Amino acid sequence: MTVIRLGYVAMIVQLKNSSPSQTMTYKHYSTFPDKEAAKRKLERIASSNLQNCLRLLRHNAAHDIHFFRLSSRLIPLATHEDLAGWDYLQPLQEDFAAIGEFAKKHEMRLDFHPDHFVLLNSPRSEVVKASLHTLKLHYDMLRAMKIDPVHRCVMHVGGVYNNKEKALETFIENWGVIPKNIQHMIMLENDDKSFTLHDTLYLCEKLNIPLAFDIHHHLAHHEKAAWEEDWERVLGTWKDSPLPVKMHISSPKSESQYRAHADYIDPGMFMDFLKKVKGSTEQIDCMIEAKKKDEALFKLVTDLHHYADIEWIDQATFRIT
C-alpha cells in the first residue's frame, strides 16, 4: 500500500478576495517621491498577501489538505535592484511566523516553485546571480516561517541554449558555486519541451537532488513513454530527503493543446499511474497543477470515490491498495 496526499497550487477558487499575489508595479513605485513611504506601502501589500495565504491554509485545514504550494509573489518587488537593502522581513515577522505555526500544527507540507526566469544553467553570470538572488528570497521566507528549507523549492533545469548536452554540463558547473543552503533547498522536475525525465535524472543522480516527477510533462516530452521503467531511479533520488516523494499531476487540455493544463484532472489517467506505483514507496505527495486549483482537487476526490481499491484516510489523503 502507498499513502497519497493531494495538494494544489498557490491560489484558490472557492474563497473570494483572497489573493496571496497582490502586487505593485515598479512604475507605480517610482511615482512615490518618498521612497520610505513607498516601502511601507509594499510592506502593507505583502502583509495582506501573507494574511490571505493564512486564510487559504485555514481553508485547506478544514478539508484535510496537507500539501500546498505557496505563491512566489508574496512580497512585491523584493528582488528589484532599486530596492537593494530593503529589510522586508523584519516588519513581516509575525505574518510569516503565523503561517509556519499553522502549517506545523496541521502537519502541512508547504513549498515553492520559483518563476521560469530562475535559470541556474544560464551561460550568463548575471542571470545566474539574479537567479540566486531570487532563490535566496525563497530561502529567507522559509526561514521566517521557521520551516526547514531542505527540498522546498522545485525548479526546471533551465534553458537549452541550442545545445542540450552543453546546457546540462553548464548546470553541473554552475551548481558547484551555488551556496550549500540553496543547493539543499532545490528539487528538479522534468519539463514538457526541453529536459526529459532521463535528462533530469542524469542531473539528480549526479548531484544528489530529488526529482519531482511530472507525469503530464513526461507524456508530452520523452525519449520513451514507459516512465515506470525508471520509477525506481526517481524514488532513489529521494533517499536522503526528510520529505516524502513529491510528484506533479495535471491533464492535457486537449489533443491539439496537449501541453496546456486542463481545468481538472482526468481520474482514469491518474489511476493508471497509481496502479503502477502502489507499494513502491510509503507515501507520495501529489501536487495538482490544474486551472481550477482547489476545485480540481475536490472534483478529483469525488471521482476517486468510485474506485474500490482506494481507502480514504481523510478528505484529501488515501491509500492505494
pLDDT by residue (tens digit) across 196-245? Answer: 999 999 999 999 999 999 999 999 999 999 999 999 999 999 999 999 99
The average pLDDT across 149-177 equals: 97
pLDDT at 277 over 90: yes
Q: What is the pLDDT of residues 115-136, one digit of tens each?
A: 999 999 999 999 999 999 999 9
Contact predicate 191/229, CB 8 Å: no
- 15 band by pLDDT with thresholds 50, 70 and 90: confident
pLDDT at 146 over 90: yes
Residue 217 buriedness (CB in 10 A; 0-12 / 13-18 / 19+): buried
3-class DSSP state for residue 187?
A: strand
Q: Which of 55, 117, 121, 46 is nearest to 86 (CA)?
A: 46
The average pLDDT across 157-183 equals: 97
Between the alpha carbon of residue 274 and those of residues 37, 70, 159, 222, 284, the distances in Å are: 53, 25, 31, 20, 10
Backbone φ and ψ of 200, nearest 5°:
-70, -40
Between the alpha carbon of residue 42 and those of residues 87, 169, 317, the distances in Å are: 11, 39, 37
The domain segmentation of the chain, as residue ranges, is 12-244
Q: Which of 2, 5, 7 is nearest to 296 (CA)?
A: 7
Kindly state the helix (H) or strand (E) to which residue 241 belongs, with its residue range: none
Percentage with pLDDT > 90 across the chain:
98
Residue-wise DSSP of 86-122: ---TGGGHHHHHHHHHHHHHTT-EEEB---TT--TT-
Q: Measure the CA–CA gap between 183 and 98, rounded to whole angstroms.
A: 26
Contact predicate 50/99, CB 8 Å: yes
Residue type, 263: D
The average pLDDT across 185-195 equals: 97
**How does the average pLDDT of the chain come out, rounded?**
97
Q: What is the pLDDT of residues 86-107, one digit of tens each?
A: 999 999 999 999 999 999 999 9
pLDDT at 14 over 90: no
The average pLDDT across 255-278 equals: 96
Backbone φ and ψ of 290, nearest 5°:
-130, 150
* pLDDT for res 91: 97
Architecture of the domain spanning 12-244: Alpha-Beta Barrel (3.20)
* pLDDT for res 31: 94
Q: What is the pLDDT of residues 29-68, one digit of tens each?
A: 999 999 999 999 999 999 999 999 999 999 999 999 999 9
* Number of neighbours of residue 240 by Cβ within 10 angstroms: 11
Q: Which of 21, 146, 34, 38 is nearest to 88 (CA)?
A: 38
Strands (E), 151-293: 153-156, 186-189, 213-214, 245-249, 283-288
Q: Which of 88, 87, 86, 85 is nearest to 75 (CA)?
A: 88
What is the model's pTM? 0.96
